[in-house]
Amino acid sequence: MRVLIIEDEHKIAAALKRGLDREGYATDLAYNSDDGLDAALSGDYELIVLDRMLPGSLEGLEVCQQLRTNKIHTPIIMLTAKDNINDRVAGLNAGADDYLVKPFAFEELVARMRALMRRPGEALTTVLTAGDLTLNTTTYEVRRDGKLITLSNKEFTLLHYLMRHQNQVLSKNNIIAHVWDFDADILDNTVEVYIGYLRNKIDKPFKSPSLIHTIRGFGYRLGAE
Ligand code: CA
Q: What is the pLDDT of residues 110-159, one digit of tens each?
A: 888 888 877 655 554 578 999 999 999 878 899 999 999 999 988 999 99
The rounded Å distance from CA 95 to ligand 1 centre is: 19
Distance 6 CA to ligand 1 centre (A): 9
Domains identified in the chain and CATH numbers: 2-117 (3.40.50.2300), 122-222 (1.10.10.10)
CB-side exposure of 120: number of CA atoms within 13 Å?
0
Stretch (H or E) spanning 178? helix 172-179
Distance 214 CA to ligand 1 centre (A): 44
Q: How far is the CA of 72 from the centre of ligand 1 (A)?
A: 22
**Cβ(78)–Cβ(100) under 8 Å?**
yes
- In this structure, of 1-5, 71-75, 81-85, 196-200, the range with the lowest mean pLDDT score is 81-85
Which residues fall inside 5 Å of ion ligand 1, going by CB? 8, 51, 53
- Report pLDDT for 225: 76
Q: Could you read off the pLDDT of 18-61 as tens digits, one per residue?
A: 888 888 889 999 999 999 999 999 988 989 999 999 999 999 99
For the chain, the 3-state helix, strand and coil shares in percent, each to the nearest 5, are 40, 20, 40
State residue 89's pLDDT score: 82
